[in-house]
Amino acid sequence: MTLFLENARIIDPEAGTETIGNVILDGGLIAAIGAATAPKGARVIDCGGKCLAPGIVDIGVKIGEPGERHRESFRSAGLAAAAGGVTTIIARPDTNPAIDTPEVLEFVTRRAAEAPVRIHHISALTKGREGREMVEIGFMLDAGAVAFSDVDHVVTDTKVLGRALTYARSLGALVIGHPQDPGLSKGAAVTSGKFASLLGLPGVHPMAERIGLDRDLGMVEMTGVRYHADQITCARALPPLERAKRNGLDVTAGVSIHHLTLNDLDVGDYRSFFKLTPPLRPEEDRLAVVEAVASGLIDIICSMHTPQDEESKRLPFEEAASGAVALETFLPAAMRLYHAGAMDLPGLFRAMALNPAKRLGLPQGRMAEGAPADLVLFDPDAPFMLDRSKLQSKSKNTPFDGQRMEGRVIATFVAGKQVFAMGETQNA
C-alpha cells in the first residue's frame, strides 16, 4: 500500500534540515520527498505540521528471551518500541543462556518475528559472557549477528580479549565494549561522592570508566578492531575518546538517554528505579556528556532498555537489580534535550537513528528517497504525565513514572507499514 504523508515537518538528520512537505512511502521504501500531490490510490495521512523523522535505531536493548520472558518478550518489547518511535531494536546478548552460539541466535531470530519492528542481534563476544573463550565469531556473523559484546561483563583477561579482538578484526566485526574497571566498580550502587556518602551507599569513582576506556582503546590500537563504547557517561572519559578519534582509531561511543536526562541526585530516597549501570552521574558530568553528544564526539544515544520485574526492584537499593525500561520513553525523554536547547531535532536523530544505523551498516536512519520507510511521526511539544502502568513493556521499571514529559509519538512506520497509532490520529 502506498502512503502519502502530507504536511509534515520533515527532519533530515543527514542534511541537518527541517522542511515542511509531503512524503510518499511505497514498496517499503521512501519513494519521494517533496511531491506535491498524492499518487492515485494512496492512503493519505495528514501530519498536521508535526515532525516526521527516521525511526530510532536503538543499540543495546535487553529482551528477556531466552530465559526471562516474564520480564520482556520480543512481542512486548516490539510493541513498546513501536510506541516509542523505535523502528530497529539491536538486542543484547545478556540473556539466559547468553546468545553465544548460532543455534541460540537462530532461536531468537525466529522469536523476533513476533515483534512489529525490526530486530537485529548482538552476539556475545565470549562463551557464556565468561571472558574465557571467544564465540564462533564467523558463524555468528553468518547467522546475522551485527556486533559482538559481553555487555556489562568486562573481559578482564587482556590476552583473551586481544585474541578475540584480533579475530573479530579479520572478519570486520564490530565489538561493543563496556568501559568500566571491574575492580573499582565492584559492589558499587551509585557514583561516589557527597550524595553516596550521605545515603551510605557503596559508590564507584567515575575514574573507573576512564580507566576502562583507556584500556579498551589500548586494545583497539593494538588490534585495529572496529570498536564502539556502549556508554560514556562522565566528563573525564571524553578526552581519551577525542584523542582516539583524532588518531584515526575506528572508534565510536554511545550514551544512554537516562544519563543525558537524569543525575545522581534523582536517586533521592533510595529509589531503585534510578539504579542503573553505570550509575547516574553528577550534574557536571551530565552536562559535559550532553555537550559531547551535541558536538558529535559521542555518536550514539541509546535506551539501554533493561526490563526488571517488581520483585527485583522492591529491595533495599544495594540489593535491587540495575537498569530501567526505556523503549517507550526514549523519544519523550530525548525531547527534554530539544526543549532545553541542548540539541536540535536533526542533531538528535543523527545520534538516535542515522549514526547507529551507519555504525552497524544498516540502510536505516536516513530521510532520503530509496531509504527504508522506517519513520516516526511525533509532536515534540505534546505534554503528558507518564503513568508506568500504561507502558507496553511487561516490566514497568521506568524512572520517569509520574513525571511530566513533552513529546509524544503519533505514529510509527516500519517498511512503509503503520505499526503504531496514537488516539484519534489512527486511520486519519
> Which residues of this protein are in contact with other proteins, per CB under 8 A?
192-201, 203, 205, 269-270, 311, 314-319
Length of the chain: 428
Q: Cα–Cα distance between 68 and 114 in angstroms, integer? A: 16
CB of residue 136 to other proteins, shortest distance in Å: 38
Beta strands in 51-117 (DSSP E): 51-54, 56-61, 86-91
Q: Cα–Cα distance between 145 and 356 in angstroms, integer? A: 15
The grid coordinates listed for 286 are 551530565
CB of residue 235 to other proteins, shortest distance in Å: 16
CB of residue 54 to other proteins, shortest distance in Å: 42
CB of residue 388 to other proteins, shortest distance in Å: 17
- Residues pairing with 190 in the sheet: 203
Q: Cα–Cα distance between 78 and 214 in angstroms, integer? A: 36
CB of residue 201 to other proteins, shortest distance in Å: 5
Q: Cα–Cα distance between 417 and 398 in angstroms, integer? A: 28
Closer CB to other proteins, residue 291 or residue 318?
318
Closer CB to other proteins, residue 207 or residue 297?
207
Closer CB to other proteins, residue 269 or residue 424?
269
CB of residue 314 to other proteins, shortest distance in Å: 6
Residue 87 makes CB contacts below 8 A (sequence gap 6+) with 54, 55, 56, 57, 81, 117, 118, 364, 374, 375, 376, 412, 413, 414, 419
CB of residue 321 to other proteins, shortest distance in Å: 13
Closer CB to other proteins, residue 70 or residue 110?
70
Q: Cα–Cα distance between 280 and 331 in angstroms, integer? A: 19
CB of residue 391 to other proteins, shortest distance in Å: 22
Closer CB to other proteins, residue 110 or residue 194?
194
Closer CB to other proteins, residue 312 or residue 355?
312
DSSP per residue, 217-244: HHHHHHH--EEEES---SGGGHHHHHHH
Instruction: Indicate the burial class of 13 (C-beta count within 10 angstroms; 0-12, 13-18, 19 or more).
Output: buried
CB of residue 118 to other proteins, shortest distance in Å: 38
Residue matched to cell numbers 559531547 = 292
Q: Cα–Cα distance between 30 and 23 in angstroms, integer? A: 7
Closer CB to other proteins, residue 147 or residue 267?
267
Closer CB to other proteins, residue 111 or residue 205?
205
Report yes or no: 394 and 70 within 8 Å, Cβ to Cβ.
yes
Closer CB to other proteins, residue 310 or residue 424?
310
Closer CB to other proteins, residue 180 or residue 256?
180
Instruction: Indicate the burial class of 232 (C-beta count within 10 angstroms; 0-12, 13-18, 19 or more).
Output: buried
CB of residue 186 to other proteins, shortest distance in Å: 13
DSSP per residue, 240-293: HHHHHHHTT--EEEEEEHHHHH--GGGGTTT-GGG--SSPP--HHHHHHHHHHH
Neighbours of 146 (CB within 10 A): 21
Cα 74-151-389 angle, rounded to 5 deg: 40
Instruction: Indicate the burial class of 127 (C-beta count within 10 angstroms; 0-12, 13-18, 19 or more).
Output: middle
Closer CB to other proteins, residue 317 or residue 338?
317
Q: Cα–Cα distance between 280 and 191 in angstroms, integer? A: 7
Residue matched to cell numbers 588490534 = 223
CB of residue 425 to other proteins, shortest distance in Å: 39
